[in-house]
Amino acid sequence: MNALDLNLKTKEKIVEEANKAFEYNMEIFNELDQAGSMLAKETLEDELPMHNGKGDVRKCPYYADKQVKGALEGGSCPFQTALAVLSKPGLQFILATSVALVAGLLAWYYM
């Protein structure tokens, strides 16, 4: 900011604006922290939130089917299983690498 050719009043306004933005960011992160702590309370037995932490287990068609038909033991909602698998960083890396490789091969093929 010292290199800018501005008068003192303009520089003070810029600093004031930056301070306001910093305060707003702190408020947003506090709100996100509070929302995250509420989601942590709504986890299932295996510590994974149901459908992104939203919804009722009884409204999930897979759980409803399990309750009505008496599905196999240990069966769970496929969405929850997919979330559990995709939350692992190693698998995310492999998936991203695979997508990049396929995109590169397709680009090379069509060039």
pLDDT in tens, 47-63: 444 555 556 655 666 55
Q: For the chain, how big is the Rg over CA atoms in Å?
A: 24
The answer to whether the CB of 83 falls within 8 A of the CB of 48 is yes
Task: Please tell me the distance from the alpha carbon of residue 29 to that of residue 97, in angstroms, as a whole number.
Answer: 32
pLDDT in tens, 99-111: 999 999 999 888 7
Helix runs in 42-88, H state only: 61-69, 78-86
Predicted model pTM: 0.35
Would residue 70 be called left, alpha or beta, if left means φ above 0 and alpha means ψ between -120 and 50 degrees? left
